[in-house]
Amino acid sequence: MKKFLLFTLFMSLFFIISCGGDVAEDPEELSDIPDWDYSNVVTDEETYGDADAPVDNGNSDPTEPSPEATDPEPSADPGISDELPDNENSLPQGCGNETVEYGERCDSDAPITCSNLNSGMTGVTKCLADCTAFDMSTCEKKSWGVLNVRFMTKFILDNAKTGDSNYFSQGALPYAAFNGLYGDSDSFFPQSGDSSVSFAVTDNYTGTFGGNKRQLFVKQNPANGYPRHELEFAPGTLKTGAEYKINAVDIFDLVNNILKLVRYRLVDKQNGTECIMGIGYTGSVFITSVYPENADLYEGGSVEIVANDVEFYYPTEIPGRNYEEDPLSDEVLKYPLCPSK
């Protein structure tokens, strides 16, 4: 009897152990873990290190190689040149409905005074039939150069990626954000039918102590590339309602972005070299709206700006400044002087 009880106990223990060993622990299903999207994370802090690293905003296709991967030797200057990628955007479909819509500069047959665009102009103008610009050929200017800017984009580009035509087309708009006149003899922009492309890009700015911040540029190129118009905002964050002053003298300061400055440049290409023909002297640029606000990385964001009173001059002819004794810094000019105006 005792032997029978011991045998029964032994068999019971053996059965329990055997059954426990056959139960495998279910592994965690990694595919159920969500892929968090960090593209909307913004920061006010200065960044250090490799600020040129591409930003993935969720629009890239993981099955296709990135532009950086296919170009082992990227250009040292990724800026926009006269060889812009093809822009396949068509003209705004709503042109002619008397309502200024996205991608239109104006939309009305009614004449307006040129001074409504810029107080430094006289005469009467009207919107071109394709809604891409005003007819500036009917205006006259009071100073060397005057311009009006109205720009809005739903996608801010990364300057380092604009060589990719598919990427560039996300933010390229087929209208003239910059309208105005310049020169000793009147030259107006845009020229009728020049197929101007307007866009905004964000790029790196390195401060005196090595800190990096992003800064915004708004640019316009005609189909042949020149003259190019560009606004360079002080590096750092932008906020809806902010006013940036046109300034052709001071260098940008990274400290808390105290100097809310913006530079306007009129860039030409002469003898095969990019050069600066005009630089902003007075006026203000207003940030009508920006998203996200107070962010150093704007790629994929949106911005709308307006400037109605900008005056500019050939860089050696800025009023009240002796250029030979006190020339503008290389950072302010950015390009060599154009040999002819």
pLDDT per position as a tens digit, 39-86: 332 223 333 333 333 334 444 443 344 333 334 333 333 344 434 545
Residue 126 maps to a domain? no
**How many domains are contained in the chain?**
1
Place of tokens 């964001």: 301
Q: Look at residue 193 and tell me if it is in a domain.
A: yes
- Environment class of 227 (CB within 10 Å of its CB; exposed 0-12, middle 13-18, buried 19+): buried
Taking 50 as the pLDDT cut, the residues of the chain under it are: 1-3, 5-6, 9, 13-83, 85, 87-89
Q: How far apart are CA 252 and CA 261, in angstroms?
A: 7
Residue 33 lies in a domain: no
Residue 165 lies in a domain: yes
**Is residue 252 in a domain?**
yes
> 280: buried, middle or exposed (CB in 10 Å: 19+, 13-18, 0-12)?
buried
Domain range spanning residue 158? 144-318+327-333
- Residue from 243, 234, 164 nearest 203 by CA: 234
- Which of 45, 63, 67, 73 has its CA nearest to residue 55? 67
Predicted pLDDT of residue 294: 83
pTM score: 0.72
C-beta separation of 264 from 147 below 8 A: yes
Classify residue 100: in a domain, yes or no: no
Domain presence at residue 272: yes
CB-based contact 321:314 (threshold 8 Å): no
> How far apart, in whole angstroms, are the C-alpha atoms of residue 36 and residue 53?
19
Residue 60 lies in a domain: no
H or E element that contains 122? strand 121-125
